[in-house]
Amino acid sequence: MRMFGRKATRRVRAEGKMKNLHIIVGTRPNFIKIAPLVRAIRAVSGMDYKIIHTGQHYDIEMDKVFFDQLDIPKPNINLEAGSFSDAHQTGLIMLKYEEYVQKDRPDVIVVLGDVNSTLSCALVGVKNRIFVAHIESGMRSFDKRMPEEINRICVDVVSNILFTSTETAGKNLIKEGLPKDKIFLVGHNMIDTLKMYEGLIDQRRILDVLGVRKNSYAVATIHRQSNVDNAENLRKVLEIFKFIQEEIPIVFPAHPRTQKRFKEFGLDAKHLKNLHFIKPLGYLDFQKLLSDCKFILTDSGGVQPEAVYLKKPCITLRENTEWVESIRSGLNHLTGLNCKNVRKVFKNIMAGDVKRVWYPKIWDGKTSERIVRILKDKVSL
């Protein structure tokens, strides 16, 4: 484990013992979601926090750049879990985090999303009788072949308080028998972050660097195990890219996992002249790409709600989604890897056939403020 030395962040101490929160991060979506949360915590008297980085993502492009750009304090500790199988990684994070908890016991453990870091640290919390708060609870794809689905279900069962992003998520939890008094509809932290940095995002010059024009290119993000860890499925992704890039350029910031699989499977995209196969981008440049594109191709859970908020059509290369509201919005379309389905949606998008745009009213940029206010009330912080 690597300890980080850092200057104390600005805190307002209340009389008596200041309550201590551990905020768990490990992957890119976690980094993005905690920026507004940290800001909201700093504004409240009597609350302290430590950022615990599990090391689940360890590539510099997936790690340091997000802390730098989003003005997030350096983690208090990096558990350096690294990359292993899901079970190995989950167990390793548990061992390392529990060791740290014995030295610095928090009053609350805050976990986000559905990654292995989320499950590992939630389990450490419940085993040590520490209050666990889960942000983005109740999301369900109803596909238990997805590691994320198993993580979501388990974390929701053991958590003391469940913060949901959508009404559908709350209904899912109630159907599963979880108590209503644990469930709080607060909104989506990623939208908070988007609203926080809109001005800086607008100033980015990444389009000039890549040589693409506003509303004249597509953005692709592909990293889900079912798509990239299967050679045949990754070939299907390339087939989809092939016919789309014949009509419109595709900017493809490739996740390190995806880059690795392309090499392992002997797949080459060099013959696709209109496909910009680039390294991962920082948060601000990536959001600029999303904001100014014609449409999005993705298998990401995080990108789908962002696409809806930005009013961008989205082709989701999955058979299901946990973001049901994104489908109801009229902007997100589930196609799987079926080329026929993708072609149909693609032609409609290029023809300007986009349905009405809708997203939950509670996606208003005040999610983190609600979370902190509820925590303060429910656990006497």
End-to-end Cα, the chain, rounded Å: 29
Q: Max Cα separation, the chain?
A: 66
Residues 85 and 214 in one domain: no
Domain with 302 in it: what CATH number? 3.40.50.2000
**Both tokens of residue 215?**
């509303």
Domain range for 254 is 198-350
pLDDT of residue 15: 39
Residue 356 lies in a domain: no
Residues 177 and 219 in one domain: no
The whole-model pTM stands at 0.90
Residue 153 lies in a domain: yes
Using one digit for the tens of pLDDT, what is the confidence trace for 113-135? Answer: 999 999 999 999 999 999 999 99
Q: Are 298 and 314 in contact (CB under 8 A)?
A: yes
Residues 153 and 172 in one domain: yes
What does the alpha-carbon distance between residue 197 and residue 209 come to, in Å, rounded to a whole number? 20
Residue 52 lies in a domain: yes
Residues 119 and 227 in one domain: no
Angle (CA) 324-239-299 rounded to 5° is 25
Residue 6 lies in a domain: yes
Residues 122 and 214 in one domain: no
The count of domains in the chain is: 2
Give the number of residues written for the chain.
381
Binned at pLDDT 50, 70 and 90, residue 173 comes out as very high
pLDDT of residue 84: 83
Residues 247 and 111 in one domain: no
What mean pLDDT is predicted for residues 213-238? 95
Q: Are 19 and 172 in contact (CB under 8 A)?
A: no
Binned at pLDDT 50, 70 and 90, residue 13 comes out as very low
pLDDT of residue 62: 58
Residues 70 and 213 in one domain: no
Residues 12 and 129 in one domain: yes
CA-based torsion, 294, 298, 300, 301: positive or negative: positive
CB neighbours of 10 closer than 8 A, spacing ≥ 6?
A: 42
pLDDT of residue 296: 98
Q: Which residues are catalytic?
A: 223
> In this structure, what are the phi and psi dihedrals at residue 69, rounded to the nearest 5 degrees?
-70, -30
Residues 241 and 181 in one domain: no
What does the alpha-carbon distance between residue 307 and residue 359 come to, in Å, rounded to a whole number? 10
Using one digit for the tens of pLDDT, what is the confidence trace for 288-333? Answer: 999 999 999 999 999 999 999 999 999 999 999 999 999 988 899 9
